[in-house]
Amino acid sequence: MTSTDLHTFLRTRRSIRRFKTDPVPDSVIERILATATFSPSAHNRQPWRFAVATTATVKEKLANAMAVEFQHDLEADAVPPEEVQRKVVRSRERITAAPVVIILSVDMTDMDTYPDTRRKKAEYIMATQSASNAGMQMLLAAHAEGLGSVWVCSPLFVQETVQNVLDLPKTWEPQAMYFLGYPSETPEVRERKSIKEIVKTY
């Protein structure tokens, strides 16, 4: 692959929210996750953890539990009832309709420990950034397999619920959720900010 080909590959990844019903082979999922683990991480501690749901029963259980929490939050924000219902239904459908749902968690077990708040915070941020690296690499690996995928952060708002539904170890802190599957849509590229807006050179 030339550098031009690689740039084209990277720039053609899209956030896909609608999938065909075709199942994704276990071997493809494993290959994607293996590639994700080659991401850089702080101290090479590899604090990422993955929970993979492909069965309808588990996805529905997760969707229902998260929907309850989501509805409570929306009602607390005084969102109109019809809007609450619309958002909750859409949230549930996104989870249940995705062939593969992957929860990305961070595990601080192997990270460095410090007595002061400043360094504790920095270490936690390093761990979450490391997990994010793995999440991005997972999206690119899915793209390489011809899959569509999208990243959402809803588990951050209901970490304990996700832990309980999936029976995750308490050291696994859910950070994000990824939907994968064979795409049934091809979104246009969204406008990007210009380099001049986001870069300062010296």
The proportion of the chain whose per-residue pLDDT surpasses 70, expressed as a percent, equals: 100
* Alpha-carbon torsion, ordered 100, 105, 111, 115, to 10 deg: 180
- Kindly tell me if the per-residue pLDDT of 46 is higher than 90: yes
Q: What per-residue confidence (pLDDT) applies to 1?
A: 76
pTM beyond 0.75: yes
CA-CA distance, 32 to 72, in Å (whole number)?
Answer: 35
Rg, the chain, Cα only: 18
For residue 155, is pLDDT > 90? Answer: yes
13-22: average pLDDT: 95
Question: How many Å apart are CA 32 and CA 139, to the nearest integer?
Answer: 8
What is the tens place of the pLDDT at every residue in 91-143? 999 999 999 999 999 999 999 999 999 999 999 999 999 999 999 999 999 99
* pLDDT score recorded for residue 2: 87
Give the CA dihedral 60, 179, 53, 155, nearest 10 degrees: -70
Mean pLDDT value of segment 146-174: 97
pLDDT at 167: 97
Q: What are phi and psi of 94, to 5 degrees?
A: -60, -40
